[in-house]
């Protein structure tokens, strides 16, 4: 086990940084690289072991992540989400574990629905079209033939849920 201060720093930094990076990457490129989703998973194991998480608890987290990966690949096979989205959601579920995965899924669906409605509204807006002609990034993001960067919903829901999880609760007992 590593020093407590370093363990706390890892808990506060690793997953939030990776979730934000994934959301931004998906926003700007409409992809979530395999290296990034692998870092999410590897980061969990590093922080779990460094913080002294029990092996049985790690096992439950692994089962939760694996279950989410199966659901994600089903949705990917149906063409509803991208492969990176499936792997990122599974990585988030790995970090959140069985206790927090349902609130994560509900938040992800709500944020994703709002994101989809907002993107549709923007795509129909003449103002957005004018901005899209001037700013290449917005033009690509608002094109009709481009999907929704669902990594935003996954990352946002993961951060909100993580902020209420046992990872943070162990750092702030009594709050």
The pLDDT of residue 112 is above 80: yes
The pLDDT of residue 139 is above 60: yes
Residues in the chain: 175
The structure's pTM equals: 0.89
Domain range list for the chain:
4-169
The rounded distance, in Å, linking the Cα atoms of 36 and 90 is 12
The pLDDT of residue 83 is above 90: yes
Q: Which residue has the higher pLDDT, 14 or 173?
A: 14
Q: Are 91 and 37 in contact (CB under 8 A)?
A: yes
Q: Determine phi and psi for 150, rounding to 5 degrees.
A: -65, -15
- Residue given tokens 């990966």 in the structure block: 69
């Amino acid at each position: 086990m590593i020093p407590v201060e370093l363990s706390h720093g890892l808990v506060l930094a690793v997953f939030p940084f990776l979730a934000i990076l994934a959301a931004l990457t998906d926003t700007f490129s409409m992809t979530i690289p395999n290296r990034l989703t692998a870092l999410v998973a590897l980061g969990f194991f590093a922080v779990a072991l460094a913080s002294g998480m029990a092996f049985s608890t790690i096992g439950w987290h692994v089962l939760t992540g694996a279950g989410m990966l199966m659901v994600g690949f089903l949705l990917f096979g149906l063409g509803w989400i991208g492969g990176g989205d499936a792997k990122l959601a599974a990585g988030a579920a790995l970090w959140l574990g069985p206790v927090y995965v349902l609130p994560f899924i509900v938040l992800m669906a709500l944020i994703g629905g709002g994101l989809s409605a907002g993107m549709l509204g923007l795509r129909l807006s003449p103002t957005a079209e004018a901005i899209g002609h001037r700013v290449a990034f917005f033009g690509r993001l608002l094109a009709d033939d481009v999907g929704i960067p669902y990594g935003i919903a996954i990352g946002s829901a993961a951060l909100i849920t993580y902020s209420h999880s046992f990872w943070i609760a162990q750092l702030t007992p009594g709050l």
